[in-house]
Every structure is written in C-alpha cells, then in structure tokens.
Homo-oligomer: A and B are copies of this chain.
Amino acid sequence: MTKKTNIAEIARLAGVSTATVSYVINDVDKVSEKTKERVRKIMADLDYIPSINARSLSNGRTKLIGVTLPLIAPSDTTGTLLETNPFFAEYLGEIHKVIASYGYDILLSGIQVKGKYKNWIKSRGLDGIILLGSYPPDIYEEVKALGIPTVLTDIYETYANDFHSVNTDDAEGSYLAAKHLIGLGHKKIGFVGGSIKESPIHNNRYLGYGKAMLEGNLKINNDCVFETLTTFEGGVKFAQRLMKEKVDLTALVVDADIVALGIMKACQDAGKKIPDELSIVGFDDIQAASFTSPGLTTIRQFISKKGEIAANLIMKDILANTRTTDSQMVKSKLIIRGSTKKI
C-alpha cells in the first residue's frame, strides 16, 4: 500500500494552501476557476479521495444514519429479523437508496440494552436515526435527549409526536379487506390479529375490520376475533384450533401475511380447500404471498414508499439542520389473488 495522500500533499503540489484545496473539494465559491482546475487535476492524478472521517471531526457531520430494528425476543438478532420479516429488508434497502444519493451511509443496529443504544449513537456520531417498529417507552426518552433528527415507523403512541413518523393506513387496509369479503357475499367473517389490546397497529387493523362489518350489518362476537403470535407458526396453530373446534366461519381477515400463510398451509395440509371452504385475506403483501397456490389475496403496504418518505424526512432535517416533526400516512391497497372466492 502506498502512503495515503492527504490534503497537504495536494496543496504542496498545487502550490496553494490546504485551505484552498479544501475549498476546491467543497466547491466553495472562493477560488478562481483557474486554481480550481489545477487543484482538481492534481487530485485526479494522485487518485486522491478525502477522508470523510477527518471531515466529520472538523465539521461535525458523519454522513451516517442509524437504522434500528426491534429485537424483541432475547433470541432475536438483526439477522433473524431481516430474514424472517421481509418488511425490514425492503424498508432498509429503500432508505439506503435514498440516502446514498446524498453521500450518506447506513449503520444497522438492533436495540438490546437501553444505555448501550444511546452510547452507540453517540460514539459513532450519527447524524440521524430511523427506528423501525416499536420499543420500550424509555428508549424514546433517550433518543429525544440525543436531539438528533429521528424518524419513527409504525408508531401510533403519543410520543410519536415528538419525532417524524411514517405509518401505513392500517385501519383502512383491513377495512378494504373486510369490504372485499363482504362484497363476495361472506357474512361469517373472522378477524385474526396480533395482540389487539396492546399494539396500536393491530388494534387499528381490528378497527378497520370492525367498521366494515358494521357497515355491512354483520355481527362481530367473541367467537370471531382471534389473537395469535405474528409468525408463520402462529398461523399454523390457529388453523389447527379452528379446524378442531369447527368454528363456523367462511372467511378470515388476517392482519399479517405471514400468519395468513401459516393458516393456509395448515388448512391445505389437512385437506381443507382454500378458497372453496375458506376465504382468506392477508396484510402486507410480502413476496411469499404470491408463491403459494392459490396466491394470497392481501392488502399491500407500500413499504418502499414508506422507506423513501422516512429517508427524505430525515435528510431534510439533517441538511437544513432543523428539528421538525412531520407525520405521514401511506395508503394501502387490496391485491386480489386466489385465496378469496364468492360464496
């Protein structure tokens, strides 16, 4: 490895000061076109690339944005999360795409220990952070104290108002799902969701379903609302219970594709035909929703749209050095495949 060329060497070769070289690098309008040319030529010849690191130290910007994933179970890692939930990968990728166009990079992390997270942000000098999913409330206090641009994703809690936030219109999504089933003539429609009482997201999805049922003059009782873990296994177990208890439903609004796929698989493995004996609508439109036969009718979340919005919100604050708090809602859309049928 040849010794790294630095700004001093460029300055020496160009016969100017390091300040002037710096101005050229940053395209500060203080240097004559002639000098600029000369300096640029030398930089190109020496294949000189300024160190972002050194720049950060003097101007206080690292051009680094932290993206944080919710490690809930002790066994969760950023790996298992990225692997099992396609949402994160797509969101992450879209953020990367936007911020890379500004010369920014992403630093990935999960949150394990509370204080450690804050220290990580400080030690790396992150310019901003984007949080995916929800965390223990005190995390938000910590983040707020940091005072850096922050975007929250899929958070409905009140502290969302202290930051930028990006959401999917969850209620509208399951409303569309239920409406679709009602339009197909279904009357006994169940709802399957994650912890409805504790998670505002799941609760909103439940409310959208409820609204559609109400409009359709259909009854909701305790026998048609179910809670499961939001995993494939959760869906499998639910379906097994459903079949065993012979619950009398012709259709299901499921608030996550991963669960809907589990239900579908368990039913099919047991010989229960989808959609002939049971219509199913999912939520998310993950890639695998189109892999099954029949394909899963679902509510598409425009994840990349959300990622793009999140990235732009944070870049706006970083570049303008402001601390605004926008809240944006992204529409969802019904995608009809083969898992739903007229009754």
Contacts and interface: CB of A to CB of B under 8 A. Distances in A.
Interface of A: 1, 49-54, 56-57, 62, 77-84, 86, 88-90, 92-94, 96-97, 100, 105-109, 119, 122-125, 146-147, 232, 261-262, 264-265, 268-269, 287-288, 290-295, 304, 307
Contact of A307 (B50, B79, B84, B124): B79
A interface secondary structure, majority: helix
A265 B287 contact: no
Contacts of A81: 93
Given A52-B124, A80-B93, 6 more contacts: A1-B147, A49-B119, A83-B287, A268-B293, A288-B288, A291-B292
Given A62-B53, A82-B89, A291 B293 contact: no
A49 B123 contact: yes
A266 B101 CA distance: 39
Contact of A265 (B125, B291, B304): B291
Contacts of A107: 105-107
Nearest to A52: B123
Given A79-B97, A80-B93, A125 B51 contact: yes
A289 to B, nearest CB: 9
Q: Which of A52, A89, A262 has the most CB of B within 10 A?
A: A89
